[in-house]
Amino acid sequence: MSLSRRLVLGAGAVTALGAGALGLGWWQVDGPGAAQPASPTRNLPRPLGEMDVTLTDHRGRRVTISDWVGRPSLVFFGFTWCPDVCPTTLSDISLWLEELGPDADRLNVALISVDPERDTPEVLADYLGYFDPRIVGVTGEPGEVARILGDFRAKAERIEDVNGDYTMNHTAGVFLFRADGSFGSIIDFHEDRRFAVPKIRRAMKKEQP
């Protein structure tokens, strides 16, 4: 099914988290909600090297998250029936990669689906054809997806509608990890490219301050 068709079908069904909650990842990690946590690392994603979850990419290949260590990573949670946040963010990521130029080839860039019931590898492959080809779609069994959400300290919630269909509310924000697998930062939904691209470049630096 084409992306435009998905947007038409999904637009009437979505029950978004709201502008503030859509930036939940930012609120938990970089925003005021993290200003005085009970533990300094309570809301931070685990290092990629500690994530032993294995999923499947849009080419049908098995992917273990810990194998991303060795290259900087950009990771986003979403789903193909998302009418607004996901295509907007994937379009933004495509523009960021273009601006980074050849340096973008050093990155792992992944969309992890929060809707494995509908997002098969084949569906993800069709959907991602509209965006930068370096973006990898990843899906898996519901239990595996739940585990990786927990590792990222991210959230996803299935919302049923009156027509018997459903949409997914989920953390919006692009997670940045350094090459050693440690968490670097998060880019909030709709963050200006003038700030987003420098964040990526900082996460890509080999030497950390």
pLDDT for the residue numbered 206: 63
pTM: 0.80
Spatial distance between the Cα atoms of 192 and 102, rounded to a whole number of angstroms: 21
Question: Cα–Cα–Cα angle for 155, 170, 77, nearest 5°?
Answer: 90
H or E element in which residue 24 lies: helix 24-29
SS3 172: coil
Evaluate if residue 9 carries a pLDDT over 90: no
- State the pLDDT confidence band at 205, using cuts at 50, 70 and 90: confident
Mean pLDDT throughout 24-44? 42
pLDDT for the residue numbered 43: 83
Provide CB contacts within 8 A for 55, sequence distance 6+. 62, 63, 65, 112, 138, 139, 140, 144, 145, 148
29 or 81, greater pLDDT: 81
Q: Which one, of 154, 138, 148, lies nearest residue 44 by Cα?
A: 154
Mean pLDDT throughout 114-138? 97
Evaluate if residue 27 carries a pLDDT over 90: no
pLDDT for the residue numbered 164: 86
74 or 192, greater pLDDT: 74
H or E element in which residue 33 lies: none
141 or 209, greater pLDDT: 141
Evaluate whether 167 touches 142 at the Cβ level (below 8 Å).
no
Lowest mean pLDDT among 15-29, 84-98, 159-173, 179-193: 15-29
- State the pLDDT confidence band at 163, using cuts at 50, 70 and 90: confident
Spatial distance between the Cα atoms of 22 and 27, rounded to a whole number of angstroms: 9
Lowest mean pLDDT among 1-5, 17-21, 53-57, 168-172: 17-21
**pLDDT mean across residues, the chain:** 83
